[in-house]
């Protein structure tokens, strides 16, 4: 198999969240020879380790590499692993400004991801401005637009991607995200996209199972959604998306508050800064303040 075919498969595996298979493929392949292909394969390898929470492995393995792509990935691992975040944000922005890094898609995605985590969504969009037909950049742009409730801009981005990546797997993911936000009849279309992914053995990932589950929740199929989420939890017990969706599904399924609280406690352990928890804590604080006004 030629280099491009191998990289094509790795890109799709990564997009579907099949990180361990990416690691296995990159670690075992003997068919990637060119420096450019090796660097791309390495970038997927290390980002797969980051997705598994193995930050120190990435930090130590990349070390003092001079490759901009690997520097950016290492900064992402440092940001996610360190309680003191500000310095890493500034270092990431400085790296972006070096040489041609503003048009290096791995640098763009890594730096923009750091900025998204830091709550600087506008700066993340600026980082991705010169995305030059790179699917991962466009995917992150769509996610940010949806987070900002700019459905109009998300639609435009997906329409633009269709012009140059019509058959790409990642475009289908973008369409599914968009369909779930549009709602109505589009829920069924999102469901079909995820169902098609699920037919592949390599796509039975927590990411795809969560997509299937969300589509089922939107269609009112709560027991089916719960079954998919429990399957996702078996694959990755500490996946924040799975836990959030289990909280939602358990509530809609009429499960006891004890069950909901257990999932919430688990989420607090694995991702204490999750936006859901921040919003929950804010509402609890506001409620307590209001209640105190009426206490004796």
* Claim to verify: residue 155 and residue 233 sit in the same structural domain: no
- Whether residue 286 lies inside any domain: the answer is yes
- Whether residue 28 lies inside any domain: the answer is no
- Whether residue 109 lies inside any domain: the answer is no
Give residue for tokens 């048009």: 103
* DSSP annotation string for 206-270: HHHHHHHHHHHHHTT-HHHHHHHHHHHHHH-TT-HHHHHHHHHHHHHTT--HHHHHHHHHHHHHH
Domain count, the chain: 2
Look at 57-61, 101-105, 143-147, 290-294 and tell me which has the smallest mean pLDDT: 290-294
* Claim to verify: residue 141 and residue 205 sit in the same structural domain: no
Is the pLDDT assigned to residue 287 strictly greater than 90? no
- Of 126, 147, 182, the residue that ends a domain is 182
118-145 in b/e burial notation, b at 16+ Cβ within 10 A? bebbebbbebbeebeebbbbbbbbbbbb
- Residue 128 has what DSSP assignment? T
Determine the pLDDT at residue 290: 80
Q: How big is the chain, counted in residues?
A: 296
pLDDT in tens, 119-135: 999 999 999 999 889 99
Q: Which whole-number Å values give the CA distances from 59 to 56, 180, 292, in the listed order?
A: 5, 36, 48
- Whether residue 280 lies inside any domain: the answer is yes
Look at 82-86, 96-100, 140-144, 224-228 and tell me which has the smallest mean pLDDT: 82-86
Q: Where are the beta strands (DSSP E) in the chain?
A: none
Question: What percentage of the chain has pLDDT greater than the value 90?
Answer: 83
* Claim to verify: residue 160 and residue 215 sit in the same structural domain: no
- Whether residue 93 lies inside any domain: the answer is no
Burial of 191: CB neighbours in 10 Å, binned 0-12, 13-18, 19+: buried
State the average pLDDT over residues 87-94. Answer: 96
Determine the pLDDT at residue 33: 84
Query: Residue 146's domain spans which residues?
Result: 134-182
* Claim to verify: residue 216 and residue 161 sit in the same structural domain: no
pTM of this structure:
0.92
Look at 41-45, 166-170, 222-226 and tell me which has the smallest mean pLDDT: 166-170
pLDDT in tens, 250-266: 999 999 999 999 999 99
CA 76-58-5 angle, 5° bins: 90
* Claim to verify: residue 159 and residue 232 sit in the same structural domain: no
Give pairs for 90-99: CB < 8 Å, separation 24+: 93/123, 95/68, 95/71, 96/127, 98/68, 99/68
pLDDT in tens, 200-248: 878 889 999 999 999 999 999 999 999 999 999 999 999 999 999 999 9
Closest CA to 31 of 48, 6, 13, 10: 6
Helix (H) or strand (E) holding 48: helix 35-51
Q: What is the mean pLDDT of the chain?
A: 94
State the average pLDDT over residues 260-282. Answer: 92
State the average pLDDT over residues 36-58. Answer: 97
Q: Which whole-number Å values give the CA distances from 161 to 7, 51, 157, 203, in the listed order?
A: 20, 25, 6, 22
Contact 188, 219 (CB under 8 A): yes
- Whether residue 105 lies inside any domain: the answer is no
CATH number at residue 219: 1.25.40.10
* Claim to verify: residue 159 and residue 220 sit in the same structural domain: no
- Whether residue 285 lies inside any domain: the answer is yes
- Whether residue 150 lies inside any domain: the answer is yes
Look at 141-145, 206-210, 235-239, 281-285 and tell me which has the smallest mean pLDDT: 281-285
* Claim to verify: residue 278 and residue 220 sit in the same structural domain: yes
Is the pLDDT assigned to residue 296 strictly greater than 70? no
Determine the pLDDT at residue 291: 76
State the average pLDDT over residues 68-94. Answer: 95
pLDDT band at 295 (very low <50, low <70, confident <90, very high): low
CA 51-53-55 angle, 5° bins: 105
Determine the pLDDT at residue 242: 97
């Amino acid at each position: 198999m030629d280099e491009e075919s191998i990289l094509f498969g790795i890109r799709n595996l990564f997009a579907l969240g099949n990180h361990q298979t990416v690691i296995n493929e990159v670690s075992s392949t003997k068919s990637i020879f060119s420096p450019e292909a090796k660097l791309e394969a390495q970038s997927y390898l290390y980002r797969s380790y980051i997705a598994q929470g193995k930050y120190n492995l990435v930090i130590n393995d990349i070390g003092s590499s001079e490759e901009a792509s690997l520097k950016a990935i290492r900064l992402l691992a440092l940001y996610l692993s360190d309680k003191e975040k500000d310095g890493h944000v500034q270092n990431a922005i400085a790296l972006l400004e070096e040489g041609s890094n503003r048009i290096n898609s791995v640098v763009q995605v890594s730096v923009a991801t750091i900025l998204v985590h830091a709550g600087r969504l506008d700066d993340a969009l600026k980082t991705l401005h010169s995305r030059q037909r790179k699917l991962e950049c466009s995917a992150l742009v769509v996610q940010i637009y949806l987070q900002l409730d700019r459905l109009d801009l998300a639609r435009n981005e997906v329409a633009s991607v269709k012009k140059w990546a019509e058959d790409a797997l990642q475009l289908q993911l973008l369409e599914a995200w968009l369909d779930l936000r549009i709602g109505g009849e589009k829920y069924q279309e999102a469901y079909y996209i995820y169902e098609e992914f699920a037919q592949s053995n390599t796509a039975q990932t927590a990411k795809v199972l969560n997509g299937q589950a969300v589509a089922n929740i939107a269609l009112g199929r709560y027991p089916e959604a719960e079954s998919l989420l429990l399957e996702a939890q078996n694959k990755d017990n500490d996946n924040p998306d799975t836990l959030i969706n289990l909280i939602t599904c358990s509530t809609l399924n009429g499960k006891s508050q004890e069950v909901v609280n257990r999932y919430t406690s688990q989420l607090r352990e694995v991702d204490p800064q999750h936006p859901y928890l921040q919003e929950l804590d804010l509402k609890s604080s506001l409620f307590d303040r209001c209640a105190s006004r009426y206490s004796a």
